[in-house]
Amino acid sequence: GDGSLLGAARALCRSSTPVLGVNRGRLGFLTDIRPDELEEKVAEVLGGDYLSEQRFLLEAEVYREGERIGAADGLNDVVLHPGKAARMIEFELFIDGQFVYSQRSDGLIVATPTGSTAYALSGGGPIVHPRLEAITLVPMFPHTLSSRPIVIDAASEIILHISASNSTYPHISCDGQTQVVAKPGDVLKIRRKSERLTLIHPLEHNYFEICRTKLGWSNRLGE
């Protein structure tokens, strides 16, 4: 499934090893070869008939009183959330050193274009084509109706100051698979990772066809 590919992506991007996905899960946004066509499609790829694209990842670092206490990577997203406590958290957002807003909410989803069709989509974020160098910030149930998703340059540095007034210990989750537990007063820094994932597709790969199939979009009139 896509979850297996996310784990492989975080490990293999460091060595520039290309990744080809076979869908054994449910949705399969990233794993676009069906099990029944495995031999045929893999043979085509090994024969040189394939498409290759680069996908960027995010790296997250948590600082406590100036000292780094944890770090993790994500191909889909980095999510600040309350953890096991069903309570709002308060934080301040800075982009490239500029103050953006302070917010009370269930957290913030910071997503790559790859992750724009994952958790961020469920939170009301936009679908971002994977060729774009952009990062999406999607508030999770904010305590104000004026908070909306923001799309920024992928070269930006994102800093979240977790308010010292929080009564819970927020969690930072990457791809929903790795996490760092923060405490009130910690600082979360997120930036684009220097290493990239090389993702391999069969020649007939079509991003918008995948969106139609996986998201239930309508086909052309008359079809």
Q: How far, CA to CA in Å, does 78 sit from each of 4, 110, 182?
A: 17, 5, 14
Report the alpha-carbon distance of residue 221 to residue 219 in Å, rounded.
Answer: 6
What is the C-alpha radius of gyration for the chain, rounded to an integer number of angstroms?
19
Q: Spell out the residues 6+ positions from residue 194 whose beta carbon is closer than 8 angstroms to its own.
A: none
Side-chain-side CA neighbours of 59 within 13 Å: the count stands at 14
Phi then psi dihedrals of residue 180, to 5 deg: -125, 135
Q: Is 77 a known active-site residue? A: no
Report the alpha-carbon distance of residue 161 to residue 140 in Å, rounded.
Answer: 16
Q: Looking at the annotation, which residues are catalytic? A: 2
